[in-house]
Structure 1
Amino acid sequence: MTSTTGSPPRPAQQPPSRSSASAGRTAGSRGPAGDPYGYDVERVDPSAPGRIGGSSAPRRRRRPWVRWVLFALSFLMLAASAVALYFFIILPLGFGTSLVAFTTALVPVAMIFTAVWWLDRYTPQPRMTLVYAFAWGAIGSVLLTFFFGGFFDTWISPAKETEVVDTFLGAAVQAPVIEESMKSAGLIGLLIWGRRYIAGPLDGVVYAALIAGGFAFTENILYFARSFHEAQAGGEVAVFWQTFFLRGVLSPFAHVSFTALCGLGLGIAAERRSLMLSFGLGIGGLSLGMVLHALWNGSTFFLPVDPEAPLGGFLRYYASVQVPIFLLLVGIVLFLRLREKRILRRQLSEYGRAGWFSPDEVELLVSMRRRGRTEAWAARHGAVARMGMRNLIRTAVALGMERHSVLFARPTTKTRARERELLEQLTSDRRLIGALTEPVVRG
């Protein structure tokens, strides 16, 4: 790769031959004098056809069909849940009402998709897992909330309760506890299937945002449908637009903010490869999300209501409490985004000093604008060249982030084998791009 638009990508120069002292280095040992970087695998020319050496015992690869079977079963369960959700919840609303509510709910979920796309495009996640996250939020977590919500509401309700107490407990206690728990269950599922899906704090936030966005999407359909029924019954359309303003304009990221705290905690723990941190930070983030959810739902019971301006008290509370909380969370996410860029630059520079990337290639890989230009250049040589370039960029990004995560823990045979896989993929992508872009006959 190269940072100059319009010129073909050149493989990194072959690293200089090592001395006899460094040639006998074992995996994980430090380099020769003057080279403080201890490289884990044998260094070879990235454009050479040979496999990377320097490995220990061969890695036992997980059978690929196991993961696909797990994903297929999960999606089948979500599909069955979607059918049940449609027949028992959406269909009774009526086709016209459901269509109006569905169309209106697309507005806030489009905002969430845009934010997630911007966060995820720097270190992109597999599309299949992104689809799963949204499907879990929109289908699985909603059905589980309906199922467990009734039992939990019965458990926390006093023997003698008024309608106001029942409504308050449902909004400020039952909804935060059950909804946040069911949404976070999707994050646990991703961690069980593979640590590489949630490898850092920003990954956890991205998946949490998609799960919460899916949940809010289905919930908004139900709220908008109920509001549309009330508007039809009362002959007053203002009820419907007020609900849309509150849920679709003022608070499209409310659920995202709550669930993102759990995703943030699990991502920090996953980056450090610590099971104890996963429990501690996961439960801590989940609890904090429940508190913010309860604060959001319960505030309406304590705010003064002015008959002449019923929304005035809520808007003042929203501007003084919820907006600062939201801006704080946005600041955390922006910091994580910049942090990933610094991590990628630092780790790829280490690989560059080991001979895998030139300085220009490192700058290309950490810049979204240069990535786009390089992919556009590759596209002029055909779709296969563009796919190869895109895969090379993603492999390099995964390599840098994987290396950063390994530094928090002790390198193992599995992590070294994963590193070899990524480096071999880089070699393969370089040869493919070179074969498709280099002229057959040189002038």
Structure 2
Amino acid sequence: MSTEAPRGAPVPGQKRPSYRPALLLHRPILRHWLAVALLAVFFGACGYSVLKIVRAQSGVTATVLGIMLSLVVLGIIVPVLLWLDRFEREPPQLLVMVFAWGACVATLGALTLNQFGGTLVGVRPGDSLLDVTVAPVVEESLKGLAPLLILLLWRREIDGVVDGMVYAGMTAAGFAAVEDVFYLAQGYSTAGRHGLFATFLVRVVMSPFAHPLFSLCVGIGIGLSATSGRWLVRIAAPIIGWCCAVLLHAGWNAGAVLAIHGSVWTYLLLQLPLFAAFVAIVVTARRREAALIDRHLRHYVETGDLTLPEVAMLASIPERRYARAWAGAHYGRLGEHQMRQLQDAGSELALLQARIAHGQRGARLRTDERDLLNVIAGCREPYLDTALYRRG
């Protein structure tokens, strides 16, 4: 009876996975939790103020119904953004922070500044001209502040255009959900169930991606700014992205005003194509990131730090999923964790190499590159000479 191990299985004496900590910025625990507490109080106060305004305008029942139905928007938008973020996942705490900014800070600021801006330009509250002229500028500015703060304070977390899109999209998701609470509650308070249903159909069913679509323009600009080696692009890209977001927002609101007056063609000819554009942008961005990872990791095949099968795995979501399952089946939870660490480090390395290829220079980039290669070297060792890699 043969005692030979199955092909590709771990053999006796082979080194098993060992935990290697991720490349994180370690801060004093007290300072970290103090910052978390202050942000929680700040966001909580803003959120409470927003809900208090909604309740005062529409009542408790309408507010509760608005909150429940607005969750549908989150169930649509957030999974799409997380799907986009599969290759190089962003820190959950930063995603929560930008979401809370959009839901609490941006909405409260928009309530105040929209009225103030309308007063400056001589437009009364409730006038449709306010939605076309003032609201796009105010709301896109407030939403755009969140990814801009990430760029300024946590620049290392934005490794490409997709990262900028994810942060901007999560901010817009929070803003859209709370804004829908306003409209849904108002629809119920003014016209009962029929008003609630009509508002739900227009705001949630027909246009859930409106705000994320506008904000993607800002996110693309932020991503280009973070990865470009040219100072002109770093300054101009976010500004151009903001201008595109404002123009799209104004055009969308103008179409909504026309649709209210009976022009269904406005939705078909303007809003529906914009929705298709959102889907196309998201799918294209993810495919582009996969191609970018494949292209820039091949540099490390030439240096001997990676193999072609490893690059093929790192550039494919299905192969990544298979590799984690294989590692978990052979080495348990620790092996699956280490494979995920290898994949995260591989994505960061590819995006860092892309920044170098685009002209960014500096000792910090080379230090990060060396650290990522060290993590990859340790994480990949148990899987060499196994049947883990099916391609390449």
Name the TM-score, length of structure 1 as normaliser: 0.76
**Equivalent position amino acid for 1:325 in 2:** L
CA 1:193–1:75: 2 relative to 1, 3 Å? farther
Counterpart for residue 127 of structure 1: 92
Which structure's CA Rg is the greater one? 1
Per-residue displacement from partner, 1:94-121 (whole Å, max 9, x unpaired)? 4432221111111122110121122111
* Structure 2 residue identity aligned to 1:240: L
1:360 matched to 2:325: no
1:327 matched residue in structure 2: 276
1:64 aligns with 2:27: yes
Query: Number of residue pairs matched?
Result: 366
User: Equivalent residue for 2:176?
Assistant: 216
What is the identity, as a one-letter code, of the residue corresponding to 1:173?
T
Change in 2 beyond 3 A, CA 1:109/1:288: same
| Distance in 1 (alpha carbons) for counterparts of 2:73 and 2:79 | 10
Q: Partner of 1:246 in structure 2?
A: 202
Letter in 2 for 1:172: V
Letter of the 1:282 partner, please give it: P
Structure 1 residue 394 corresponds to structure 2 residue 350? no
- Looking at structure 2, the residues matched to 391 and 328 of structure 1 have their Cα atoms a distance apart, in angstroms, of 33
> Which residue number in structure 2 is paired with residue 96 of structure 1?
61
* Equivalent residue runs for 1:170-319 within 5 Å: 170-232=130-192, 237-302=193-258, 305=261, 310=262, 313=263, 315-319=264-268
Change in CA separation of 1:356 and 1:219 when aligned onto 2, cut-off 3 Å: same
Gapped regions of structure 1 (runs ≥ 5): 11-46, 48-60, 438-443
Gapped regions of structure 2 (runs ≥ 5): 1-5, 12-16, 18-23, 387-392
Q: Percentage identity across aligned positions?
A: 29
Within 2, Cα distance between the matches of 1:352 and 1:7?
22
Shift of the 62–331 alpha-carbon distance from structure 1 to 2, 3 Å rule, reads closer
Does 2:98 align with 1:137? Answer: no
CA distance in 1, matches of 2:171, 2:10: 38
Do the aligned partners of residues 253 and 173 (structure 1) sit closer, same or farther apart at CA in structure 2, a change above 3 Å counting?
same
Tell me the SS of whatever aligns to 2:376: helix
* Change in CA separation of 1:300 and 1:116 when aligned onto 2, cut-off 3 Å: closer
More helix by share: 2
Give the SS at the match of 1:382. Answer: helix
Q: Aligned-pair distance for 1:397?
A: 0.9
C-alpha distance in structure 2 between counterparts of 1:74 and 1:353, whole Å: 46
SS of structure 1 residue aligned to 2:306: coil
Alpha-carbon deviation of 1:175?
A: 1.0
Structure 1: how far apart are the matches of 2:153 and 2:36? 9
Pair 244,64 (structure 1): closer, same or farther in 2 beyond 3 Å: same
2:119 to 132, 137, 154: 154
The code of the aligned residue for 2:365 comes to: T
Bigger shift: residues 110-119 or 332-341: 332-341
Counterpart CA distance in 2 for 1:271 and 1:211 is: 21
2:295 maps to which residue? 346
Output the CA distance in 2 between the equivalents of 1:320 and 1:111: 23
How big is each residue's C-alpha offset from its partner over 1:27-54, in whole Å with a ceiling of 9 and x where there is no partner?
A: xxxxxxxxxxxxxxxxxxxx9xxxxxxx
Taking structure 1 as reference, are residues 87 and 157 closer, same or farther at Cα in structure 2, changes over 3 Å only? same
Deviates more, 1:90-99 or 1:110-119: 90-99
8 Å contact from structure 2 (residues 255, 270) kept in 1: no
1:84 CA drift (Å): 2.9
Provide the rounded CA distance (Å) in 2 between the counterparts of 1:274 and 1:75: 37
